[in-house]
A = this chain, B = another copy of it.
Amino acid sequence: MARRLFPGAPQPFIDLSTGINPYPYPLPPIPAGVFARLPEAEGQARLAESAARTYGAPSAAHVVPAPGTQILLALVATLVPAGKAAILAPTYSEHARAAGLAGHRVTETADIEQLRRADLAVITNPNNPDGRVIAKDRLLALAQDLKKRDGLLVLDEAFMDVCPPEASLAGEIDRGNIVVLRSFGKFFGLAGLRLGFALAAPRLAAMLNASLGPWAVSGPAIAIGERALADSAWMDATRNRLADAAQKLDRLLAEANIEVVGGTSLFRLAQVNRAAETFKRLGHAGIVVRAFSEQPTWLRFGLPNDQDWSCLRSRLETARSNPP
């Protein structure tokens, strides 16, 4: 794709277009039987235990293991009858698509107050791509209001792993009609594995588990997920490593006259005069980033691999001095 857009660019491209940790959890050896046999219920139960502990959900009965959170978006939107969906925007565009698929009339709004009157309210927290974090008490107040009207609050915490644990609503899901979505692949750098979780009160979790049916998660995802989610030393070290890398990236971007205005440790949001033009300059220099069709001044930068830092610095320099 990048090769077609920028045929003359140096290769391989430095791909900063995702928000996935480029320093993945080290893969344990996976016995062949894990691929061969139907995943056993016991393994999925242990994975749910591990996820409940790590994410701070009240119990394993609050956990819905899934083959990625993406597949959960449409399912979660069907937990309430088709009505009015309000999505705090701008944010990850798949939320609006999934809500529409479930038959909701979809509003995207920048005003959180507009979410109070929805049947389905969706907030990405921290938000993608600007990293905006909404405080827990505001979220709980919103959840209370929604609950009175049988509305549902969906919190996409796909990038919450790099925030202080107390920012998550996972521990409060019994206090309202709340579904928290957690992505495994982003923070653990294993997006190809397809693993994600919904966290919700047991009644809602049971509905989601029933929709997914048995064997929703692959044997390798269970084996790796169970182990990785219990590895708090790796998780702590990774949070530090990502924070350092994000700072380093900010410095490099500043040197290239690109101003960072938000983000999380997994991606940085830059504000530029004309994003489409900078996107092209970067592409011709061999750097792929994320542009947003409805945000003409935004570019999102993911973190580079360890071996790409010096190359990234020189390519940013090339991009800055080249004509567009």
A positions within 8 Å CB-CB of B: 18, 20, 24, 27, 32-39, 67-68, 70-71, 73-74, 94, 97-98, 101, 185, 189-194, 210-221, 224
Contact = CB atoms under 8 A, between A and B. Distances in A.
A101 B71 contact: no
Contacts of A190: 35-36
A166 to B, nearest CB: 29
Contact of A192 (B193, B194, B219): B219
A216 B221 CA distance: 14
A164 B219 CA distance: 31
Given A94-B213, A211-B74, A213-B71, A35 B218 contact: no
A194 B74 contact: no
Nearest to A216: B71
Contact of A67 (B36, B94, B191, B216): B216
A101 B212 CA distance: 11
A38 B67 contact: no
27 contacts: A20-B37, A24-B35, A27-B35, A33-B192, A34-B192, A35-B190, A35-B193, A35-B220, A36-B189, A36-B190, A36-B192, A38-B191, A67-B67, A67-B194, A70-B216, A71-B212, A71-B213, A74-B211, A94-B213, A97-B213, A98-B213, A192-B218, A192-B219, A194-B217, A194-B218, A218-B220, A220-B220
A71 B35 CA distance: 18
B20 A191 contact: no
A107 to B, nearest CB: 21
Contacts of A185: 38
A211 B97 CA distance: 10
Nearest to A20: B38
Contacts of A213: 70-71, 73-74, 94, 97-98
The 8 closest A-B pairs by CB, nearest first: A192-B219, A67-B67, A194-B218, A38-B191, A70-B213, A24-B36, A35-B192, A35-B190
A207 to B, nearest CB: 9
A70 B214 contact: yes
Contacts of A217: 194
A67 B218 contact: yes
A33 B191 CA distance: 10
A79 to B, nearest CB: 13
Nearest to A32: B27
A216 B211 CA distance: 15
